[in-house]
Structure 1
Amino acid sequence: MGLSIAIAGGIMMFTFVYVMMTLPGIVDKTISITEASSDMSKVEDSITKTTMDVNSISASVGSQVITFSIDNSGAEKLWNYQKFNVIITYKGTSTTQTEALVYYGSCSGNPPSGYWCTDSISNDNLEPKILNTGETLSVKSTVSQNAQTGAIVVIVSADNGVTSSRTTTI
């Protein structure tokens, strides 16, 4: 009888130690899942609060410069412009062209071919260089070919993936 009590005690001690050694791994995985879920909720909240509109597309026949504006009508601040995607489709010299432009920074004149830049933000009193709710960002872009008579489509995607587009004809 003494041997069976010792064996039962050993089995219980082994089980207790085993549970204590696996518990930190389980807790660590639970914490990782909780953090990932929290991060995902923050991104989804940002996407829900972001509303922007591309407006006022302007271009001249025979020019490479296309200007447009972005209105922030959502609750999310837009500021990480280098992670924005700007795609412009237009009638070029011989065929329709689609170009993904690269952020050039703040404008001082027109950006080089293949780039877009931030010209100004209207009513930018609250936080300089950040597009807050109700503010409008003026953008200049330079495409690789001279625009010809036809449709121009501007698509802008914010850093969180929210997109807006506008089409105009010159």
Structure 2
Amino acid sequence: MRVLPALMLVWSASACDKFCDFEDCGSCGNACCKLSYYVNGLSTEEVVKMLNKTLGAGGPDGHYAQVMTYEGTLGFADLRPFDKPVHFIGQAVHTTTGKARFNDTLDFTIAPTSTGSLVTAFSISQIAGAYCDSGQNFSNLQMLFASLGLDMFVRNADASCAMDSWYLHLTS
């Protein structure tokens, strides 16, 4: 079967940056990454404003775009009036750089914690057959959150893009 090797070659032609440390190989039926960002000292409203501002400007590499929510807002919807455990839900798309261009979908929820906010962030490759992603989905999330310069910890939310269980997120 020549399709899988061809897709793997196409995928490897995309450029991945310094955050491509943790590859995922089909843990979501396609390549994906789900991370939990524990943001210290900021409310959910402060975090969503920062994410909306960054994503609205194209993100750290200029290749992020906000998506219209069901609620009719661009980027994030406010769920606080509905008494849900999360305050905000949102979506964006990231287009990879390099010779080949691929779109990845990013989903977010932002919930309050006793010390700040918890952002659950998910990235999945939109191209069918992206079995291993060379760390691209991890990079989509990590590049975005590193650009915010926040005091936060990050950990895996599930078995995708497996990394060491805890580490302090640095802004460099």
TM range (shorter): 0.3 to 0.5
TM-score by length of 2: 0.35
Structure 1 or 2, whichever has the larger Rg, is 1
TM-score by length of 1: 0.35
Return the structure number with greater helix share.
1
Instruction: Judging by fraction of residues, say which structure has more strand.
Output: 1
